[in-house]
Structure 1
Amino acid sequence: MREKIVLIDGHSILNRAFYGVPDLTNSEGLHTNAIYGFLNILFKILDEEKPEYLTVTFDVHAPTFRHEMYAEYKGTRKPMAEELRQQVPVIKEVLRAMDVEIIEKAGLEADDLLGTISRICEEKGMDVAIISGDRDTLQLATEHVKIRIPKTKQGRTEVEDYYASDVKEKYGVTPVEFIDVKALMGDASDNIPGVPGVGEKTATKIIMEYGNIENAYAHASELKPPRASKNLQEYWDQACMSKTLATINTHADIEFHLEAAKHGDPYTKEAHDYFQKLQFKNLLSRFDVEASSNKIESHFKEINEKDRAEKVFKEAEKASTVGAALTEDNGNVLPLFAHASGYGRLTIAYGKDKIYSIVCGPDMEMDYLFERLVHIAENVQTFSMFDLKKYLPVVKITKQENCFDATVAAYLLNPLKNDYTYEDVAREQLNLMIDEKADPMTKACYEAYTAYAAAGSLTEKMQAEGMYHLFTDIEMPLVFTLFDMEQAGIQVEAEALKFYGEQLGARIVELEKEIYEMAGETFNINSPKQLGVVLFDHMQLPNGKKTKTGYSTAADVLDKLAPDYPVVEKVLEYRQLSKLKSTYADGLAVYISSDGRIHGKFNQTITATGRISSTEPNLQNIPVRMELGRLIRKVFVPKEGCVFIDADYSQIELRILAHCSGDEQLIQAYKEARDIHRMTASQVFHTPFDEVTDLQRRNAKAVNFGIVYGISSFGLSQDLSITRKEAAQYIENYFETYPGIKRFLDDTVAHAKEEGYVVTLFGRRRPVPELKSSNFMQRNFGERVAMNAPIQGSAADIMKIAMIGVNKELKEKGLKSKLILQVHDELLIEADKEELETVQEILKRQMEQAADLDVPLIVDMHTGENWYEAK
């Protein structure tokens, strides 16, 4: 029986997988789709072929490719996408971990290696299976060499097989003649020029008749069609070069040792570790190695007796680090434990073999478990949980400095992810893969163990990246500040909200009638397709942009038409009011609790820049641009005996930009409390300060704030309705006025390109992977992110410091007043009227002294009987 070897064209299969599998990234931001697709194809082939030997070949893109004389021509190939390029060294590492032989040699392409090894093995009496996405390899097919070409159909991988007879049957030529067909027809994907005017059909017909290009050239005058005859003679040198480029070298100068290619068990412990790191969960089932998780699970213990639980609690209190998890008995997270006597479990871990899941029962109600957990939290050095704020309503911790929120720590280390579950942290920090089908007790034990075991790893990594002080001094105290704000909530006048909704509804009905009258017909205004037809087909409005689904009625399209067409202006108003009604007038009502207040959620692990976000409901998105939108703030009122104080940072991001850039002119202007926008207008438009018009000031303001966000000349031209050339001149004049800003932005982008991240004033890192994208638009976006993230992130950090300071001082002084809301650069306090002056002083001082910048931080403060008045 003949032995078999499988030869894989590494780059070809990796490339095919890259474009065939949707983009995947692991928790470290590494693109993994090509690796994942490659491994799926590899395992499929190994399962089918069951070979004795296996080798993967790779190109080494040295100065020469197949032949030195054609290097310049083939060197014009499109460069590899960056997202694919970064996966090449990783797949090689994975293959080596699987004990797979890899062969590569500078100056030779993968198919030259395949051709040579294939010939050697066939001559040894072996069967060969070549796996490649490149049809060039069909020329290598023989009676014992099978070419296997993977194809993806409807998300599934299918493989086409070709022996020499199959090539002849499908293409009408032998494998050797296949080279000559390609020499004539060329191959744009491989930069083989071929002969102009000769397609596949003509090339195949010529080679079927004449056998090769040399014989065809000898009979060039007889070739049909006449164009092929003429062009083959005119481009004969190019045809010869194309044949050389298309011919795989089967006698390349390489060393190949068959024994090194012996295929053993690829499911090694090292490969298992790589698959965990790459987060290929469904491929791990192929491994039969002892996972470290099995060892840990042997230490999971369930406790139902109170005396045993007490022993565990007392032992845990003496530990330096304790991890904890609170879950319902069915394994679901119990957010607020509204029914403390209900069934649930407390799981704690304080050693690799000290992992206990304590079940609530008749003699161990949840209140008792909460009480014991608080006692532990306040006696150990480090008390670690995931999403700690969620449990603070029942785990009433007073000693905050002991607490460690593993979710927040994981977020700091990688702020680009969508979530930070204990399963993710277990995989990333502890190299543990947790079975999704595990029972509730096992999952709870893993969560507590991960909180315990990952605390050290997360701390070390935050220290290594200079973010540990950010974690301990800002993010952890903020957990408790946000909790206090959520508990306080904000009072809403339900009847006023209902009346506001009715007003909106009435105006929406009026607008509908007005729009129908202007359009001369009724239609669904909320349907972009119907609206597009009415505006651009029936009413013949200009500048209609057709898309696959109809005319675009996006806001930017309608905004340009609104000044000249009243119907469009009314459509925009209709849209705004409809959103106001559904999202706010109707939407807010469902969040009003029995105490008449909305207790929303504040999230600190959502945004990449470090800004706090608001959900359930999102009170940070209350409209401010239109008066009717702002009026909704009137329904938010302080409780009896209180008044609202609203404090807003003045131009905080521009002030941070002045500090970070060190631009002397901008710093001096802020120190002198000058009108920054008027001063910028004076400089940019070359107008005396006192003669700057309101329009010039508005335009300068757009430039000032646009620069912070890395605005382009195109973006500025759209904002100001000016030409792109004018906008470019504005920006150029701006940088001449403030050269320090230009230097800072350029240096920041350069740093991001070199290091892969930017940093705020307080050490917060924001990775910018977009800068390495092969897509121009993505790279451009990455540059804007690099410019803005340090500014916006520093503003977020300063706001957090202020919030912590304000909340702490209000509590320490025993005041009734409470911090209840944060919206970007604004804080809202529900102040007891008798404490008004004291609270105003605290608020102003804590906010203005939150950071020591080269320019003063200024706070605008107002009071009111509702949020509208205070703002």
Structure 2
Amino acid sequence: MADKKLLLIDGNSVAFRAFYALYRQLDRFQNPEGLHTNAIYAFKNMLDVILKQEKPSHALVAFDAGKTTFRTRMFKEYKGGRAKTPSELLEQLPYIKELLADLGIKSYELPDYEADDIIGTYSKKGQEAGFQVAIFSGDKDLTQLATDKATVYVTKSGVTDLEAYTPEHMKEVNGVTPTEFIDMKALMGDNSDNYPGVTKVGPKTASNLIRKYGSVEGVYEHLDDMKKSKLKENLINDKDKAFLAKKLATINCESPVEPEIADLKIEATNVEKLRSFYEQMNFRRFLAELDDSGLASASGEVEEKKVEYEVATEKTQLPEEAEISFYLGMFGENYHTADFTGFSLKIGEKVYVSSDVNLLLTKPYKELLEGSCHKNVFDLKKTLVGLHRLGIKAQHLDYDMLLASYLVNNENNSNDLGEIAHLYDYYQIKSDVDIYGKGKKAAIPDEEIFFNHLANKVVAIEALKAELLKRLKEHEQDDLYETIELPVAHVLAKMEITGLKTEARILTEQGAEIGTKLIKLESDIYDLAGEKFNINSPKQLGQILFEKMQLPVIKKTKTGYSTSVDVLEQLKSQAPIVEKILQYRQLAKLQSTYIKGLLDVIQPDGRVHTRYQQTLTATGRLSSVDPNLQNIPVRLDEGKKIRKAFVPTDNDGYIFSCDYSQVELRVLAHVSGDENMQEAFKTGYDIHAHTAMKIFHLDSPDEVTPNMRRHAKAVNFGIVYGISDYGLSKNLGISRKQAKEFIDNYFEQYPKIKDYMDKEINFARENGYVETIMHRRRYLPDIHAKNFNVRSFAERTAINSPIQGGAADIIKIAMINMQKKLDELNLKTKMLIQVHDELIFDVPADELETIKKIVPEVMQNAVQLDVPLIADANWGHDWYEAK
């Protein structure tokens, strides 16, 4: 450890951050006695990172002694607005202190003072004694302690993503020095600590005042020099508040602490106590990492377990087994084109590996993969597609580790087997990045390391199966996994393998048409600007619009004027050039992203083979990539026409589309139980017209104008996403008062929807997650966030996720049932793509009448809700006609 380095940690603040960093896994982090351990675990991770980074000789973790301090005597409401600390965190604090003691690190609290005061005092003492000081906290209040000898690290997200505050960085971020930051806080007040400053003085105004006058005292000394204004009036009225706030904001660096600096020297770790502590907490990872000094590896590096394996050959005698585990190695995200790297196979206790995937085409391996034994894999869809590329039609892939992990914790969407294994305390395997590096081509290590890694993968798949399935059962998600996610993975694999026939000629012709329009728009823009410039350069465009043409500046960025779409939309009525620029951007994006992008991914079979990301979104919605067929723009006619390039396999065949009607609103009607909304759906009313009647207090649908219906539609879908009156007013271009009236009228007519929203938010607060009707969970670690905007977003997510996730579950069930129906009737029709609430099919001419009947029928009967599901069908000789 380096000489004279003092580490000071804000214990309460970091413990709070640690608790919420793993909050969504609260049920997983419990020891056998039922003690929650997520904060202890994350705190230890943070400590490892800090110790490695700082290499301190001395250290102290400061804690608050209680809620009553000298500040609460000055201002009794100080910190009075804070939510009660969760009991699950409070029960862990004594164990964090025990962990620190076992590691040889002192913890300390001082009655009547806060942890900040302890840290400020020891920071001053340490610097006076010649120490370099490093301070760690989740609270920016401590940045006032930054000096040339003391750096303050503040957690940005989680507990290991840190921002370093030095005097220079403080000046850059806040425009003031660390000591001036106290005065800035005095003028602003602090909502988190619940003390007021000067009315309507925010960070920008406070920073400007302190930069100009140096301190709160300086501001009031120059008050007479200020022009008459509302700001001056507020400063006069709130003078006492400002000076009180400065006292409250100032960290006491002369607190009566007892231990001397010398007492903070890090002592030898008590290895036996630490080992016993890790066993008590059930921290298998830390136990595995424990070395002779008792400190876990601060680098967090994983050593791969040495696995006994046999290099597979054509002559290998494969034993018979009812269940096997299999891993197919590919390098690259797009498994339709990725290079194969090898495979591993576990049969009983025997593990086989090879870098030659062609070996799988030989009789014993092919028969095994196509045979009836049950197969455990990491990514079922990827494995099926990869084996199909090799000419193998694998059967009975019955367990998918990636899908199981995704359902247990859908906030983590990694698709790296090693990273996922680490989530479940399985550290015998490294991630692919650790093995292959980050390059675009796999940097295959030497054969022994590579084979051992392949072997570890197939062992991990089998080793974690029981644990993951147990957690699914505990969450009541085993049915979701077995009856929806696994079967739909098989359906998606079929769809991806089939692909969508694409006419390159049509795309090329459309590209030429768009190119001609772009040239004309470019010429018009130059004429209106009076000069040529780079339209794609935000800097040059900003100079033309805001300097030469003197259009009002809406927003600025760090590099100049903002020319974003929302800015241009606000300006288009003021100058014809802006409308032309918007048109130019839309067509240029169509040309580059969709015309050229699609031409680049047409495979030798004349088809595009999209890849569905099944484990990406927290709501369960599928996402299409390489190419994204769900996001082809249809608002512009030129965008719609791109769909002309997607055609049926047979020249006389059809593209058939079937789309759920307002499925999210129907889910909302079901989960809320609101009789008025349910009645509208049951009687076949136009739901938006029905809502318009309610919010405008009309007696008949005949009175509903198109504009009223548009407003009602915005309210309907806005409510699904937890919209505010401010958001609705922006969407509709109406006053905030009118928007509030619409929302109030809506809830008056649909009272149980408001009850539903409140119920979901309360459930999320109590449990840390919400669920769909199929028990798909969405974890919401920010539901208790102190920041209003962050917490509000989590509350809106709590409202929306069961609805959007419920709709995603319904379309998946429909896909599974539809594929079963196609197989049962032995039809040649293929399901091609899914676009959120819509399914697209490739239909031979002689099957069209059958498909017209069965597809809507299957979709409408996917699940039984309290309101009917409706699916509308269209068809044509290309996708454009089918819409």
Output the amino acid matched with 2:327. Answer: A
The answer as to 2:665 corresponding to 1:679 is no
Output the amino acid matched with 1:422. Answer: L
Provide the residue aligned with 1:64 in structure 2.
68
Q: RMSD of the alignment, in Å?
A: 4.9
Provide the residue aligned with 2:656 in structure 1.
645
Cα pair distance change 1:642/1:471, threshold 3 Å = same
Task: Kindly provide the CA deviation profile for residues 810-829 of structure 1, in whole angstroms up to 9, marking residues without a partner as x.
Answer: 12221111111111111111
Provide the residue aligned with 2:256 in structure 1.
249
Cα pair distance change 1:544/1:346, threshold 3 Å = closer
Q: 1:454 aligns with which of 450, 464, 467?
A: 464
**3-state SS of the aligned residue for 1:602?**
strand
Is the 8 Å Cα contact of residues 529 and 551 (structure 1) preserved in structure 2? yes
Q: How far off its partner does 1:42 sit?
A: 3.6
Output the amino acid matched with 1:797. Answer: D
Q: 1:314 aligns with which of 308, 312, 319?
A: 319
Q: How far off its partner does 1:830 sit?
A: 0.7
Is the 8 Å Cα contact of residues 151 and 159 (structure 1) preserved in structure 2? no
Q: 1:796 aligns with which of 787, 808, 830?
A: 808
Deviates more, 1:743-752 or 1:31-40: 31-40
Cα pair distance change 1:547/1:188, threshold 3 Å = closer
Deviates more, 1:441-450 or 1:557-566: 557-566
Cα pair distance change 1:64/1:470, threshold 3 Å = same
Q: 1:739 aligns with which of 746, 751, 755?
A: 751
Q: 1:379 aligns with which of 352, 361, 373?
A: 373
Provide the residue aligned with 1:323 in structure 2.
325
Where does 1:8-157 land on structure 2 (aligned, <5 Å)?
9-11=8-10, 28=25, 36=45, 38-43=47-52, 49=57, 56-65=60-69, 72=76, 89=93, 92=96, 95-96=99-100, 98-100=102-104, 103-104=107-108, 107=111, 109=113, 132=119, 134-135=120-121, 137-139=123-125, 148-150=132-134
Task: Kindly provide the CA deviation profile for residues 710-757 of structure 1, in whole angstroms up to 9, marking residues without a partner as x.
Answer: 111121111111111111111111111111111111111111122111
Provide the residue aligned with 2:774 in structure 1.
762
Deviates more, 1:710-719 or 1:365-374: 365-374
Q: 1:357 aligns with which of 330, 353, 360?
A: 353
2:275 and 2:621 mapped to 1: Cα distance? 41
Cα pair distance change 1:487/1:249, threshold 3 Å = same
Is the 8 Å Cα contact of residues 648 and 878 (structure 2) preserved in structure 1? yes
Is the 8 Å Cα contact of residues 319 and 347 (structure 2) preserved in structure 1? no
Is the 8 Å Cα contact of residues 491 and 597 (structure 1) preserved in structure 2? yes
Cα pair distance change 1:69/1:830, threshold 3 Å = closer
The answer as to 2:704 corresponding to 1:692 is yes
Larger radius of gyration: 1
2:837 and 2:245 mapped to 1: Cα distance? 66
**3-state SS of the aligned residue for 1:300?**
coil
Provide the residue aligned with 1:426 in structure 2.
421
Is the 8 Å Cα contact of residues 58 and 109 (structure 1) preserved in structure 2? no
Is the 8 Å Cα contact of residues 428 and 456 (structure 2) preserved in structure 1? no
Deviates more, 1:551-560 or 1:827-836: 551-560
2:247 and 2:632 mapped to 1: Cα distance? 70
Provide the residue aligned with 1:213 in structure 2.
none
Q: 2:505 aligns with which of 476, 495, 499?
A: 495
Output the amino acid matched with 1:356. Answer: Y
Q: How far off its partner does 1:417 sit?
A: 2.1
Task: Kindly provide the CA deviation profile for residues 205-226 of structure 1, in whole angstroms up to 9, marking residues without a partner as x.
Answer: xxxxxxxxxxxxxxxxxxxxxx
Cα pair distance change 1:503/1:615, threshold 3 Å = same
Q: How far off its partner does 1:426 sit?
A: 1.9
2:793 and 2:243 mapped to 1: Cα distance? 47
Deviates more, 1:678-687 or 1:564-573: 564-573
2:537 and 2:292 mapped to 1: Cα distance? 48
Provide the residue aligned with 1:413 in structure 2.
408
* Gap regions ≥5 residues in structure 1: 115-131, 163-181, 204-234
Cα pair distance change 1:575/1:285, threshold 3 Å = farther
2:248 and 2:871 mapped to 1: Cα distance? 73
Provide the residue aligned with 1:669 in structure 2.
680
Deviates more, 1:26-35 or 1:435-444: 26-35
**3-state SS of the aligned residue for 2:539?**
helix
Provide the residue aligned with 1:297 in structure 2.
305
1:782 and 1:243 mapped to 2: Cα distance? 32
Task: Kindly provide the CA deviation profile for residues 361-392 of structure 1, in whole angstroms up to 9, marking residues without a partner as x.
Answer: 99x5644464144156x223x53333543444
1:644 and 1:300 mapped to 2: Cα distance? 52
**3-state SS of the aligned residue for 2:424?**
helix
Q: 2:609 aligns with which of 582, 591, 599?
A: 599
**3-state SS of the aligned residue for 1:644?**
strand
Where does 1:848-859 land on structure 2 (aligned, <5 Å)?
848-859=860-871
Output the amino acid matched with 2:67. Answer: P
1:498 and 1:198 mapped to 2: Cα distance? 61
Where does 1:208-247 land on structure 2 (aligned, <5 Å)?
247=254
1:494 and 1:44 mapped to 2: Cα distance? 55
Where does 1:568-717 land on structure 2 (aligned, <5 Å)?
568-640=578-650, 641-688=652-699, 689-717=701-729
Q: How far off its partner does 1:415 sit?
A: 1.5
Count of paired positions: 761
Q: How far off its partner does 1:490 sit?
A: 1.0
Cα pair distance change 1:160/1:281, threshold 3 Å = farther
Where does 1:522-537 land on structure 2 (aligned, <5 Å)?
522-537=532-547
Q: 1:843 aligns with which of 842, 847, 855?
A: 855
Q: How far off its partner does 1:541 sit?
A: 2.4
Task: Kindly provide the CA deviation profile for residues 647-677 of structure 1, in whole angstroms up to 9, marking residues without a partner as x.
Answer: 0111111111111111101101111101111
Q: How far off its partner does 1:533 sit?
A: 2.0
Is the 8 Å Cα contact of residues 770 and 778 (structure 2) preserved in structure 1? yes
Is the 8 Å Cα contact of residues 663 and 869 (structure 2) preserved in structure 1? yes
Output the amino acid matched with 2:373. Answer: N
Provide the residue aligned with 2:238 in structure 1.
none
2:878 and 2:734 mapped to 1: Cα distance? 40
Cα pair distance change 1:297/1:866, threshold 3 Å = same
The answer as to 2:813 corresponding to 1:813 is no
Cα pair distance change 1:470/1:398, threshold 3 Å = farther
Q: How far off its partner does 1:769 sit?
A: 1.8
**3-state SS of the aligned residue for 1:525?**
coil
Is the 8 Å Cα contact of residues 61 and 106 (structure 2) preserved in structure 1? yes
Provide the residue aligned with 1:776 in structure 2.
788
Cα pair distance change 1:784/1:393, threshold 3 Å = same
**3-state SS of the aligned residue for 2:10?**
helix
Is the 8 Å Cα contact of residues 506 and 645 (structure 2) preserved in structure 1? yes
Q: How far off its partner does 1:549 sit?
A: 2.1
Q: How far off its partner does 1:552 sit?
A: 1.8
Is the 8 Å Cα contact of residues 11 and 61 (structure 2) preserved in structure 1? no
User: What percent of counterpart residues are identical?
Assistant: 33
**3-state SS of the aligned residue for 1:625?**
coil
2:414 and 2:287 mapped to 1: Cα distance? 18
Q: How far off its partner does 1:540 sit?
A: 2.2
1:834 and 1:325 mapped to 2: Cα distance? 41
**3-state SS of the aligned residue for 1:314?**
coil
Task: Kindly provide the CA deviation profile for residues 130-164 of structure 1, in whole angstroms up to 9, marking residues without a partner as x.
Answer: xx5x255535888xx77552279xxxx999499xx
The answer as to 2:448 corresponding to 1:443 is no
**3-state SS of the aligned residue for 1:620?**
coil
- The TM-score normalised by the length of structure 1 is 0.76
**3-state SS of the aligned residue for 2:545?**
helix
2:755 and 2:423 mapped to 1: Cα distance? 37
Cα pair distance change 1:629/1:359, threshold 3 Å = closer
